Chains A and B, each alone.
Chain A
Amino acid sequence: MTTTTAATDTDTALMAHLLRRAGFGATRNQIDHYLEKGYEATVEELLNPEYGEPEDQDLLDRYFIASTEARSVGHADPQWSWRMATSPKQLEEKIALFWHSLLAVGGIKLDHGMEMLTEIDLFRRVGLGKFRTLLLEISRNPGMMYWLDNQNSHKDAPNENYGRELLELFSMGIDQNGEGAYTEDDVKAAARAFTGWASKPTMPPFFLGPFPMEFRFDPEDHDERDKTLLGETGNWNGDDAVNIIVQQPATAEFISRRLYQFFVADEPDQQEVRKLADVFTENDGEIRAVLRAIFNSEHFKSEEIRFRKVKSPAELVYGTARLTDRFDLPDMDTSQLANYAMFMGQHLLNPPSVEGWHEGEEWIDSGALVERINFASSQLERTDAPGVEQMLERVRSAGDSLSPREYVNACLDAMGAIQLSDRTMNILTEHAAGQSIHQDQRNRATEMFQLIASTPDYQYC
């Protein structure tokens, strides 16, 4: 789209773009910090978060008492909400969100907060690594086993649910006609390979607490006969099945396409996806390598894909929350953020089905748009929030002799070097021209921030 560049500095606009896609977005000061570091170094920092229990975990557990050993999804989501609003390791949370929607397990069936958080942490731990490791771990994950009925899959009566979704939704995918690069016989073979893979509850740490679940393999219940999966015959077990599946070209293509849609654009560019599939294959399915190829590509850096991807509710909520920079204690306000995302149609830890969420334009219905605009404008009204103060200060220091267009540009820059379409820009410029010059300067800027956050443009990242 034709855009009016707000940031005069194209590097700034590019860095802002990277941080919106690889993370939830950044304040203008944070963008400056990363600009000093440089683009590629920033990409590497994002790609290599050091996994581990965060320093503030103890604080979090003390504030959200009910969310430690969380019983339900409702008890669990404050933990993740806090991380998405505050974690300095943005891509670690973003990739968890990606896998949460692709390898979807949800409270819709697994009403077990503790297990849901275990899943999310699994995604943090191995979500940027080899896809083989991830698929193997998720296949051994008790929550997933329960979610897709694998505990009901027996040697003499295999349940095909996991075998089918593993191929259709988690690895090889199907085309628009519902056809996959695998057959019904492959589904049956995969199901047989996973017989005996199940979960069992263990003793709860607290009285009346949830039962932590453990992976359990029952060799007695495993089908030991030969199976032919994707053309390879042998006495395959679940880990063999994963090994076979991850080497399929269809898997490389499917995972690359989903990464593209999540990080680059809602509509996949087939040529770019093929390039990424090659990177996937050359790097033994390492997700980090694919993302590195994405973020460093000229395609990703180009103007044409900026502000073309609809922000998911989580991206809108946590992006705006980060802009205000006001979440310094894990209080109710932070956990409330997850509720706002739910009001907008994304109930975290409870995706609507095994298919996860449908991304893109589907996010925006009229009820959700009301919630989006009201949320963002009420957050930006908080002029005492450090992030908003910072924004006000930036607009103030841009000077008091700005033309209306320059004024809107100063506000856009303060909000993280974002941009508007020409038409929206013109309307906001007219609005700025109509604002009384005698108006309190802080009110004037706040009003413009709120308007910018209300635009259709702000719904895209």
Chain B
Amino acid sequence: MASNGNGSNGRAKNLVVIQLSGGNDYLNTVVPYQDGLYYDYRPVMGLSGNKVIPLDERVAFNSHMGPFKRLFDAGKMAVIMGIGYPEPNRSHFRSMDIWHTAEPEIASSEGWLGKTTKAIDPEGKNPVTAVNFGRGLPRALAYPGVSVASVGALESYGLYTGLAGASNRDALLDTVSRIYQPMSQEGFPSLQILQTGRGMLDGADLLRSAPDAYSSNVEYNADNPIAQSLKGVAQVMSADLGTRIFYTQHGSFDTHTNELVNHAKLWDEVSEAVECFWADLAEQGQADDTVIWMFSEFGRRIEDNGAGTDHGSGGVAFMIGNPVKGGLHGEYPSLDPADQLEGDVHYNTDYRDAYATILDEFLHVDSEWVLKKKFNPMTELVASRA
């Protein structure tokens, strides 16, 4: 999937998801630094002075998002204000599921990106159309018949890599590879397990070899987990395996206590990693073909609890990339008590509008099929085509 060098073109893009797990505090990420109410509600957690980086006369980034400011200034970063869904749920699990399944009302087990993968590769020909960096499949990627590789670390991905006495690894792999041949059902209830096994082995071979083909001048911080995940993304992209969806996450943003320290550290990590990845995308020739999507399951309470903030609703999401039209999108929700929702900001952008944008405008997948309903793609987020 190397870039064809056409710049802003109509080609379908790659999607890189960065999930901010735990509930990122919107108000201390994009700070309404000129709003007196913000400081009234946040006597302890309020950020001001050199703790903020103004974007305009109303809002500012947290000072630990310096690299984000540079991307923002370059016009590559859309900041989506007040994103959420009706009748917010403040359970991590439930709210994350709502984001993962694009179903705010009913519990569903079908992930919106799993379904997207199905649309991109209906017959499941490529075992690495979607790759998750982490252990355990996020529900966003779960969909019947869709095979998704979940990679802890690329170099050690695959079977038997964790064995202490791995001297016989090749012998084991050789035999296992002979067993998982979906030629005939031969005694199994279905052919599916053999097919899955084949996809697993082929995918593992592909992915493990990805780092070999990769070279870059970008140095990712070895102690920053999200930087390492994004490096893995860059490696898989550069290996040209046909992967279209890359899933990563970072956290925990569940800052009930000691928020000033923890939240700052998290944003240092995320923004540093994204800036490195951004530079790498350019180096790998992928910058025009990649969109980054960052979200969290919810924002946090407007009022702080003296040491941190509790679960809230309404948040901020980011879309980053050359194909994206940067800037602040939507209104910052009012902090006025009359406008609040049970002590939280009221959402004003439905998250599925953003999904529809990603699907229709960037991935070229029918959003109505994936989301089971027509939402309104935010065409204002799309950079004008050259």
Contact = CB atoms under 8 A, between A and B. Distances in A.
Given A373-B159, A422-B187, A450-B172, A367 B139 contact: no
Contacts of B36: none
Interface stretch (A133-141, A151-159, A353-361): A353-361
Contacts, number: 144
B172 A423 contact: no
A446 B163 CA distance: 12
B93 A108 contact: yes
B78 interface: no
A368 interface: yes
B25 interface: no
B93 A423 contact: no
A107 interface: yes
A75 interface: no
A352 B136 contact: no
B188 A421 contact: yes
Interface string A224-240: 00000000000000000
Max count, chain A CB within 10 A of own CB: residue among B158, B163, B199: B163
Nearest to A267: B189
Interface size class of chain A, counting residues whose CB lies under 8 Å from the partner chain: 35 or more
A366 B127 contact: yes
B229 interface: no
Contacts of B282: none
Contact of B168 (A111, A365, A443): A443
Interface stretch (A16-24, A185-193, A451-459): A451-459
Contacts of B180: 456
Given A354-B107, A366-B149, A456-B197, A451 B187 contact: no
B109 A353 contact: yes
A365 B124 CA distance: 12
B164 interface: yes
A373 B136 CA distance: 14
Contacts of A446: 165
Interface residues of B, number: 52
Interface in B306-334: none
A456 B179 CA distance: 8
Nearest to A373: B159
A345 B192 contact: no
Contact of B200 (A358, A366, A424): A366
A59 interface: no
B34 interface: no
Contacts of A431: 171, 175
B97 to A, nearest CB: 6
B146 to A, nearest CB: 8
A121 interface: no
Nearest to B106: A353
B186 A422 contact: yes
Interface in A334-364: 342-345, 350, 352-355, 358, 361-362, 364
Interface stretch (A247-255, A281-289, A317-325, A374-382): A374-382
A376 to B, nearest CB: 11
Contacts of A365: 137, 142, 146-148, 196
Nearest to A431: B175
Contacts of B200: 366-367, 369-370
Nearest to A106: B93
A370 B127 CA distance: 13
Given A358-B109, A368-B137, A370-B204, A459 B193 contact: yes
Interface string A378-407: 100100000000000000000000000000
A3 B136 contact: no
Contacts of B190: 361
Contacts of A62: none
Contacts of A437: none
A427 B93 contact: no
Contact of A364 (B161, B162, B192): B192
Max count, chain B CB within 10 A of own CB: residue among A345, A361, A367, A451: A367
Interface in B194-227: 194, 196-197, 199-200, 203-204
Nearest to B168: A447
A1 interface: yes
18 contacts: A1-B187, A108-B91, A108-B97, A109-B94, A345-B136, A358-B109, A361-B190, A361-B193, A365-B147, A367-B200, A369-B193, A371-B150, A373-B176, A424-B187, A431-B171, A447-B171, A454-B172, A457-B188
Given A109-B94, A366-B203, A451-B175, 16 more contacts: A2-B187, A353-B109, A355-B109, A361-B190, A367-B149, A370-B149, A370-B158, A378-B163, A381-B164, A421-B188, A427-B178, A427-B179, A431-B175, A456-B179, A456-B180, A456-B188
Interface of A: 1-3, 106-109, 111, 266, 308, 310, 342-345, 350, 352-355, 358, 361-362, 364-371, 373-374, 377-378, 381, 421-424, 427-428, 431, 443, 446-447, 450-451, 454-457, 459-460
Interface of B: 89, 91-94, 97, 107-109, 127, 132, 135-137, 139, 142, 144, 146-150, 158-165, 168, 171-172, 175-176, 178-180, 186-190, 192-194, 196-197, 199-200, 203-204
